[in-house]
Amino acid sequence: MSVSQIPPGLEAVLPTGSQDIKKEDDPLGRDAFLKMLLAQLQHQDPLNPMEGADFSSQLAQFSSLEQLFNVNDHLESISTSVVSDGANNVLDYIGKEVMCENDTLKLLEGIQSGGLFTLDATTEVAVSIFDDMGRELTTLYPGQLEPGTHQIDWNGYDRTGTSAPDGAYRFELAAIGENGLYEPITASASGLVTGVTYENGTPYLEVDGKLIDPATVVKIRQQDGSI
């Protein structure tokens, strides 16, 4: 014999036809828990029914489960808000002067990205590129460069003519003096942000026609020079 009557108090937690129940593939979700509880009530031994304390305990477990789902939904909402705020913050860079410091460039399918630097004066430059083991792959000599922001132009090959694999690489800059001596240059880029470009969902700042990762920004100034 099965019990068809639902004990008092259970109606408050059971879904009704007018409620929108979120379907979950998770076998430990709300619906699965209620189905197991109802099956237990319907198939219990009428000569040895569930004790009130046991039933209350299971209702308490469902209440805890419901609270955990609500907490998870709240965290997802916060995460979405943070991502949205981050995108809006990137747009706040437009019209401001920024300075970035980053000594890395990347290769993807043989195409280089990154590798920006700014010169304050006309300088003859040498660029050394290193792999993740610290080994120098090649040294580039772009020659004498005018003041402004420049991008390293590397074809992705080392000095032996071997194509380097996709990945991140570090570079070092040096100014070549009239006596042939090298003087290190800090790998930094600066300029006015004129726009924001998204590539594969990732935002980049447009500075002097170059794309800069917002994560590399170390200083922001208004055009009047104020911070």
pLDDT of residue 165: 94
pLDDT of residue 15: 47
Q: Is the pLDDT of residue 136 over 90?
A: yes
> Are 127 and 173 spatial neighbours (Cβ–Cβ below 8 Å)?
yes
Q: Is the pLDDT of residue 164 over 90?
A: yes
CA–CA separation, 66 and 109 (whole Å): 48
Q: Is the pLDDT of residue 166 over 70?
A: yes
Quickly state the pLDDT bin for 102 (edges 50, 70, 90). Answer: confident
> Are 104 and 171 spatial neighbours (Cβ–Cβ below 8 Å)?
yes
pLDDT, the chain, mean = 76
Taking residues 10-14, report their average pLDDT: 45
User: For the ranges 56-60, 103-107, 130-134, 154-158, which has the lowest average pLDDT?
Assistant: 56-60
> Are 140 and 129 spatial neighbours (Cβ–Cβ below 8 Å)?
yes
Counting residues of the chain whose pLDDT is more than 70, the rounded percentage is 63
CA–CA separation, 102 and 167 (whole Å): 15
Quickly state the pLDDT bin for 3 (edges 50, 70, 90). Answer: very low
Fold of the domain spanning 97-221 = Immunoglobulin-like (2.60.40)
Quickly state the pLDDT bin for 182 (edges 50, 70, 90). Answer: confident
pLDDT of residue 212: 85
Taking residues 40-54, report their average pLDDT: 62
Q: Which two tokens stand for residue 35?
A: 């189905």
In the three-class reduction of DSSP (H, G, I as helix; E, B as strand; rest coil), residue 91 is classed as helix
Q: Is the pLDDT of residue 25 over 60?
A: no
Enumerate the β-bridge partners of residue 191. Answer: 98
Count CB-CB contacts under 10 A for residue 61: 12
